[in-house]
């Protein structure tokens, strides 16, 4: 699948797990993006990436739920690990995979590569287990 090239930090095992989950789980997924920019130029490059990717997210039925800057950790390392957090809801993992596998995404991806010093992309699904009452 072309998404391996889209996320060079993704291991084959991670991609296979996401693909397997996409085949059996049709519930909505929220992708938690934690981003550390490669300086001011990285922040600008991420802006270009966001402009290019927004219509692709919408095309598969996704939407940005929330985005904003990150402050110092209350629990965890105090080194300012993340600059930005972004929550993007997709109708399913399959919709996310469709988006990152598209040729248009491949065209936008170099902006992301230029933007990011480090990142995490974590799929999250809604659950009532352990929820705060």
pLDDT (0 to 100) of residue 31: 96
Paired tokens of 31? 């992708």
pLDDT of residue 131: 63
Q: Mean pLDDT per segment of 10 residues, for the chain of length 133 residues?
A: 53 77 82 96 97 97 97 82 96 93 93 94 84 59
pTM: 0.84
37, exposed or middle or buried, with CB in 10 Å at 0-12, 13-18, 19+? buried
Among 3.30.70.100, 3.40.50.10860, 3.30.930.10, 3.90.1310.10, what is the CATH number of 3-72+82-123?
3.30.70.100
Euclidean distance between the first and the last CA atom of the chain, given in angstroms as a whole number: 41
Contact criterion met (CB below 8 Å) for 101 and 3: yes
Per domain, the residue ranges of the chain are: 3-72+82-123
């Amino acid at each position: 699948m072309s998404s391996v090239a889209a996320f060079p930090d993704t291991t084959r095992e991670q991609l296979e797990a996401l693909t397997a989950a996409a085949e059996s789980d049709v519930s909505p997924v929220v992708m938690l993006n934690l981003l550390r920019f490669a300086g001011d130029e990285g922040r600008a490059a991420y802006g270009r990436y966001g402009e290019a990717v927004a219509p692709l997210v919408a095309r598969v039925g996704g939407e940005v739920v929330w985005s904003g800057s990150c402050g110092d950790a209350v629990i965890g390392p105090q080194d300012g690990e993340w600059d930005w957090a972004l929550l993007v809801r997709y109708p399913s993992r399959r919709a996310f995979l469709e988006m990152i596998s598209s040729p248009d995404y491949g065209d936008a991806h170099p902006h992301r590569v230029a933007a990011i010093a480090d990142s995490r992309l974590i799929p999250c699904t809604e659950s009532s287990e352990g929820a705060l009452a």
